[in-house]
Amino acid sequence: MLAAYDFESTAIAEGTPELLYVTGFGDSSFRVSTRLDRGNRLERLRDILINYFLLPEYSGAKFVAWNGNRFDVYFIIQALLHSPDYVMQPYMTASKALRGLRVKSTRKYTVAGKRKILQYEFLDGISMTGMVGKTLESFLKTFAPELPKLKLDLENIEFNPDDAEHVKYAERDSEGLYIGMKRVQEIILRLTGENLKPTIGNLAIKYFMSNVPQHKRLKNPTDALYKILHGPVKRGGYCWCMKQYTGPVWKYDINQAYAAAMRDAQLPAGDSAHTDIYIKESPGVYLATISRKPFSLIPFYYKLEKVNEGRFTTGAKPVTCWITSIEIEHLRADGWDVSIDHGYYWTDSFNFSKIVSDLETLRATDPDGPSGPLGTMVKAIGNNAYGKTLEQLSGLELIIASDAPDGWDLYDPFDEACTNVFSRTRAVFQKPHHLPQIGVFVTALVRCKVRTAALLSPETFLYADTDSTVFSKPAPLTIHKTHYGDWKIEAEGVNYIILGKKIFYGEDGTTKAKGLMTRKLQKVDYEKWMLGDLPVQEQVQRNNLLKFLTGHDMFRLQERKGTDTGKSKVYRLKNGEYLPS
């Protein structure tokens, strides 16, 4: 069963909000619309969950909330800790970010004549669809336009359970989300043959792995090579600011950069082997010393091997680093000297050309356009597969319960408040998709594509971040609005203020301010920032789940100050220009 639900609460502020109302809408007869009266609201929520959600006939259900991992699930866990009949297993990343929750009964029930443990999942629509940064209103416009989000200014008034219009607003959220997620499910099932997963990455990698050419063998890397792939050779996107700038810009983005890279890159396959020489015809990773005379105006991004920290180099001084064969060819084409110490290569190669081309065609030919329901999910699948190849499992499992089950220990026995979180460590077995060589090569190709674009006009190049470039004049790039891997124009002659990495203001509404809330910043704040007057904000920050479960409030106040763009280990600011350290 698939169902949607929503919690209405008092305003988000320092402390922990109080729940006021619960709605739910789903398959069959699942309907919930009830208030939480004053008193012990958590016990009331527990009763609602047990009497409406956790019914034996609903075992196996997926209950979906928009942004549920960052709000609703916190309360569900707290409420069910008031019952000894359930244990909860949070789906968590290595950094303890929540990706969903499984709830299991502690005893067996008879369902359809069989005795079994009841299981339910509480999931997040954002994680399931990959629509990070999108509101429920935006989701409904795409997937349930007949049920748009109703208007209620909850920033200035509090939700009132006695107001029929407020109740209608809450009920619409659940009904609209349910209808929208059903359409997502239909699209995903038709496209991939799979049901919705807790995250779009789970779904995407399973679909991509099912489309590896049959005659190609993909193998988890050996221990030594595994450490290199998850260490100095693994880097994120190319992000570099050439100088501080105020004036008109031309901004370009790569269409579906990571999906295109999975189609275009020569990805490793077959066996891996150590080598002391560079084998050009095979994909590989190498420890190399790189330099360039004359030095390059566009720096190259690498990592220091021993400390695994990112750096930029113009090639003026030789540096030794682990890089991919993609980057070796890129640097040599740019006139760099690359001297190989040793490395590893793969005996075969492949790419995902067919599946990516099929996805591109689907998106381009869909009658609803590339941003319609199908196009949105095709885009999400294409861009979220590669990240799962870089996944690392720790072997640590967590459960949350009122009492410790057999075989589980307190997660943190030194924290007196940690009384309901239990852990165990199990042997880690690599999954078939744990192929960091794929993720490393995909990201390397995108970095090289961005740097190559900058090299076309280094005198006018201003800024790059992941899959975008910014110039002070039109750049000679291959432009196409939709073709995967080509550049599309995002801004032409629009006035921008560029201060540094991930800090800029555009008059087209495109703004970034690392660590700060851009909606609270005006153009004048960026102008003052340029002169050294750093903005300061008091922000309401969410505590992570484990902190919340050990007695901390859900939200805390925190002062955040704008980044001093002249101070960095990676670069220094001199006369308005950024220079690699």
Instruction: Please report, for the chain, the start and end positions of each structural domain, with discontinuous segments joined by +.
Output: 2-198, 239-350+434-534
Check residue 222 and give its pLDDT: 86
Query: What pLDDT does 5 receive?
Result: 98
* pLDDT value at residue 413: 76
Euclidean distance between CA atoms 449 and 440, whole angstroms: 14
Contact call for residues 442 and 235 (beta carbons, < 8 A): no
Return the pLDDT at 94.
81
pLDDT of residue 37: 84
The two three-digit tokens of residue 395, written as one number: 């072997």
| Predicted local distance difference test score (pLDDT) of residue 270 | 98
The residues that bridge with 110 in the sheet, in sequence order, are 115
What residue spans of 254-372 are helical by DSSP H?
257-264, 325-333, 353-365
- Omega of the bond prior to 294 within 30 degrees of 0, cis? yes
- Residue 262 has a pLDDT of 97
CATH, domain 2-198, list 3.40.710.10, 3.30.420.10, 3.30.365.10, 3.40.50.800:
3.30.420.10
Q: Please report the pLDDT score of residue 398 as a whole number.
A: 93
Taking Cα atoms as reference points, which of 174, 176, 149, 152 lies closest to residue 163? 152
Residue 486 tokens read as 């080509």
CA distances from 98 to 43, 199, 251, 362, 502 (A): 23, 11, 34, 32, 25
Q: What is the pLDDT of residue 265?
A: 97
> Model's pTM, two decimal places?
0.93
Strands 571-574 and 577-580: antiparallel
- Altogether, the residues listed in the chain come to a count of 581
pLDDT at 264: 97
> Do the Cβ atoms of 424 and 198 come closer than 8 Å?
no
Question: Residue 263 and residue 350: Cα distance in Å, rounded?
Answer: 9
Determine the pLDDT at residue 416.
78
User: Which residues make beta-bridge pairs with 188?
Assistant: none
Below-50 pLDDT ranges, the chain:
none
Amino acid 394: pLDDT: 86
Please enumerate in sequence order all residues whose Cβ is within 8 A of that of 64, keeping only pairs 6 or more positions apart, or say none: 2, 3, 4, 5, 123, 124, 125, 128, 177, 178, 181
